[in-house]
Structure 1
């Protein structure tokens, strides 16, 4: 197993959208509701590689991109919010998500951040378990008004320094 966390700039534009589409392919409603945002995110990161390389990375296995994570630093040092955190479907359930998230947390904490916040959907039980296993605690539930056709709640988790 040869896991590496690479700079976003080391891969091609479009990889972030492709990884998100794959990671959420279990339910096409995610892609239908989020594709425009995912494309805008990919464009922003590749148009601003200095930001992308500092506030995100791509996880590779034997040279193949299998996931990525990004975070928003604009509220440092009070808190950082993790944005996208995904692993391609074929690599889920093998511990790569946890390794990726732990690496992101370690990098974020190097900036003396007080809290790390992440949001997930209540139906994404493996994601919820992963956040809790790293030390995040559930802090807030709120109605999901973002993804069309998906009932349920958004769950906000917090990691305290």
Structure 2
């Protein structure tokens, strides 16, 4: 834990230096950081109660009052009594205030462009993806676990199949100690899927959360002519508990039903508890269990299925 705390502190010191370059007064604006935050909030609403503005910005009431007084004197805002409650005040930007915000916004956008200019497209994508992951991890405790407006399920694009193989190998090695034979199995499944290219009867999905790949699932034909098989369900640790696995399984079931299959099967192992819970919730039933030695460990395999 000490090492983690030190890493967070080091990142905070680094990011604070970078953020300092983007602060309003450093990019040529007359406004300070708190003043810029107030302008930004007011620019995105028509009217807002002062108490609500203070809550959203988490600013001291006296400090916010001084900022609004200065803005009023400069002709940037208007403060009036609320029509619904005479004890409250509402505030809004004047045309002059909106012009001031527009100038500030352009200065900061130009500063960000200058910051990103040395980076190529791949580096910019990596940067935005990392920012999305940080936001998602730190705000997870505040949000409803099932709400994921940034979740997208899409077909695999070039590079995604290799990612599926790599992430399965890395994740199962890290979490369960499985050896390279598991990654080899995944590679064969993925390669066979790609070679068959049977888009009518088979499909795969990559889950993206805030632009980052966080999961996968495949639907392939099983041995029985009227049966499909759910394979290679994966959810990255950063996205677990947010409904990604459930969405992937639901999409797989919908595709299998549309494709004319009457039943769908899957194979898993009893130690994969999170996946088993998702399968149970989706209506799968464990038909049989078989001990086996695979991937460097003694395991108990499970065969699950459900009607479509």
TM-score of the superposed pair, with normalisation by structure 1: 0.83
Q: CA deviation at 1:90?
A: 1.6
Report the Cα distance in structure 2 between the residues aligned to 1:44 and 1:138, rounded to whole angstroms: 26
Which residue of 1 is the match for residue 261 of structure 2? Answer: 113
Could you list the runs of 5+ residues in structure 1 that have no partner in the other structure? none
Which residue of 1 is the match for residue 241 of structure 2? Answer: 93
Deviates more, 1:51-60 or 1:78-87: 51-60
Q: Which has the larger radius of gyration?
A: 2
After superposition, the Cα gap between the structure-2 partners of 1:49 and 1:155, relative to the gap in structure 1 and judged at 3 Å, is closer
Structure number with the bigger relative contact order (C-alpha 8 A, sep ≥ 6) is 1
- Asked if the contact 1:45/1:52 (under 8 Å) is kept, the reply is no
Report the Cα distance in structure 1 between the residues aligned to 2:227 and 2:190, rounded to whole angstroms: 23
CA deviation profile, 1:71-109 (whole Å, cap 9, x unmatched): 222546521111211111221222111111111111111
Q: CA deviation at 1:156?
A: 0.8
Which residue of 1 is the match for residue 177 of structure 2? Answer: 28
CA deviation profile, 1:5-56 (whole Å, cap 9, x unmatched): 1111254452112331344231222x4331222334444555x484479421
After superposition, the Cα gap between the structure-2 partners of 1:49 and 1:80, relative to the gap in structure 1 and judged at 3 Å, is closer
Report the Cα distance in structure 2 between the residues aligned to 1:23 and 1:95, rounded to whole angstroms: 19
After superposition, the Cα gap between the structure-2 partners of 1:127 and 1:160, relative to the gap in structure 1 and judged at 3 Å, is same
TM-score of the superposed pair, with normalisation by structure 2: 0.46
Which residue of 1 is the match for residue 284 of structure 2? Answer: 136
Aligned length: 158
Report the Cα distance in structure 1 between the residues aligned to 2:293 and 2:230, rounded to whole angstroms: 19
Report the Cα distance in structure 2 between the residues aligned to 1:6 and 1:159, rounded to whole angstroms: 24
Q: How large is the Cα RMSD of the aligned pairs?
A: 2.4
Give the number of the structure whose residues are more often strand, by fraction. Answer: 1
After superposition, the Cα gap between the structure-2 partners of 1:122 and 1:73, relative to the gap in structure 1 and judged at 3 Å, is same
1:71 aligns with 2:251: no
Give the number of the structure whose residues are more often helix, by fraction. Answer: 2
Q: CA deviation at 1:146?
A: 2.6
Report the Cα distance in structure 1 between the residues aligned to 2:306 and 2:251, rounded to whole angstroms: 14
